[in-house]
Amino acid sequence: MVDKDFTSNYNLNESIFAGYASFNIKLDKKTSSKAGLRYEYTNSGLGSETKKNIVDRHYGNWFPSIFISQLINDK
């Protein structure tokens, strides 16, 4: 038996969209680097039968990255 006073149905939807770009740079014969940038956009929504917009979030974040590589030997 379900007690409707203590029961509720919730609906959570979350979408994450992302893009990434990177490029390589050769600094010298043994050293190279790679730089990149990622963007993520998140859309979250939470609602119930009695309250439609408990959570309604939309936000974006940038994530930069950089890598440096050095060859140890000539081979």
Query: Structural domain boundaries of the chain?
Result: 20-70
Instruction: Record the tokens describing residue 10, joined without a space.
Output: 């919730």
User: Is a pLDDT exceeding 90 seen at residue 26?
Assistant: yes
User: Is a pLDDT exceeding 90 seen at residue 74?
Assistant: no
Instruction: Record the tokens describing residue 51, joined without a space.
Output: 């309250």
**Which pLDDT value is given to residue 48?**
86
Give the length of the chain.
Answer: 75
**Which pLDDT value is given to residue 5?**
73
Share of the chain above pLDDT 90, in %: 71
Instruction: Record the tokens describing residue 52, joined without a space.
Output: 């439609």
Note if the pTM is more than 0.85: no
pLDDT band (50, 70, 90) for residue 46: very high
What residues are paired with 23 via a beta bridge? 35
CA pair distance 42, 59, nearest whole angstrom: 5
CA pair distance 30, 44, nearest whole angstrom: 46
